Amino acid sequence: MKLATLSDGSPDGRLVIVARDHSHFVQAVAARTLQEALERWTEVEPLLQRAYDELNAGSAPGANPFVASEMAAPLPRAWQWLDGSAYESHGDLMQKVFDMDPIPRDRPLMYQGVSDTFYGGTDDVPFPNETDGIDFEGEFGVIVDEVPMGISADDAMKHIRLIVQINDWSLRKIAPVEMKTGFGWVQAKPPCSVAPVAVTPDELGDAWRDGRPALPLNVAWNGKKFGSPDGYAMGFGFHELIAHAAHSRRLVAGTVIGSGTVSNTNFREVGSSCIAERRGIELLDTGAASTPFMRFGDTVRMEASLADGSPLFGVIEQRVVRG
């Protein structure tokens, strides 16, 4: 099943059901917003599924053409956003670049980020200046219904209701300064962007394995291919990230959990999903990072399609602007 949120001027938008081929959508009847659907998922899911089946069968009255730019993020705001850093090759590179001590790998890495705003996939994204080191970070994420405190990783898997594709905007000149305090990131992590379509795990078919999305994330910067690392290489699966997050808190319905920047050990072949990683490779190879960060007016595009080329999350394609 594929869901999206139509921008309608309200803070949470209007839940819609999107056809598998992204040709059309219909407004959901079973719930007004995705947040509401997640809070009553067991009751609402079969009703949404039936409407999805009708839409795919071409028998849904009131279907409209799907236009990505009319969509907000699937959750335009959420009560909680916890972002992991599950791709170890990314962590290894960043440690070298920032001259940090190695971080133990026996438990997931995770920080809490701003969740009162998620930009839509085609929204312009405002930043205060260019000198902070504007960077994109291509990620996958999951959205859960309510998860009790102390859940096991096995049980956490059952709470993964939707999978999404995220651009976790980062300000690289501030990131190491904040990281060295041990307090995590505030200024370095403005709101994220999310591709328009949130999908249930079954939509990934065989590409959803071990709580990991086995899909290449294709990233282009100013129209030029930047990387296509595969999502499967997570050191911890999403179910393990959820269990980690829920050690001492329940997760409310609509909590979003991120994978961290998608990265593969063969980054020299597949490229990267953030500029910082390319700069790290340059630093290792030549002693200096030569690729600059983003400038106002730059665009980034991110898309993860199924192996047969059919669309999955839709596309993040957006421009950075002066805030």
Which span (16-24, 198-206, 227-235, 243-251) binds a second copy, by CB under 8 A? Answer: 243-251
DSSP state for residue 68 in the 8-state scheme: G
Cα–Cα distance measured from residue 241 to residue 259, given in angstroms and rounded to the nearest whole number = 8
CB of 112 to a second copy, least distance (A): 5
Q: Tell me how far apart the alpha carbons of residues 249 and 147 are, in angstroms, rounded to a whole number.
A: 9
- Closer by beta carbon to a second copy, 29 or else 100: 100
Q: Is 112 in the site for a second copy (CB under 8 A)?
A: yes
Instruction: Using the structure block, give the residue that is written with the tokens 């997931």.
Output: 108
Q: Which of 12, 45, 88, 132 binds a second copy (CB under 8 A)?
A: 132
Task: Tell me which of 117, 265, 299, 305 binds a second copy, using CB under 8 A.
Answer: 117
Instruction: Please measure the distance between the N-terminal and C-terminal CA atoms of the chain and give it in whole angstroms.
Output: 36
Per-residue binding letters, 256-285, with a second copy (x by CB under 8 A): ------------------------------
Spatial separation of the C-alpha atoms in residues 178 and 184, rounded to whole Å: 6
Question: Can you tell me the distance from the alpha carbon of 201 to that of 216, in angstroms, rounded to the nearest whole number?
Answer: 16
Of 186 and 284, which has the nearer Cβ to a second copy? 186
CB 251 within 8 A of CB 146: yes
What is the Cα–Cα distance from 161 to 140, expressed in whole angstroms? 14
Region of 25-33, 111-119, 214-222, 263-271 interacting with a second copy (CB under 8 A): 111-119
Neighbouring C-alpha atoms within 13 Å toward the C-beta of 218: 15
CB of 10 to a second copy, least distance (A): 13
Q: Which residues bind a second copy (CB under 8 A)?
A: 77, 79-80, 82, 85, 100, 103-104, 107, 109-117, 126-128, 132, 149-150, 171, 174, 177, 179-188, 190-191, 244-245, 247-250, 252, 255, 323
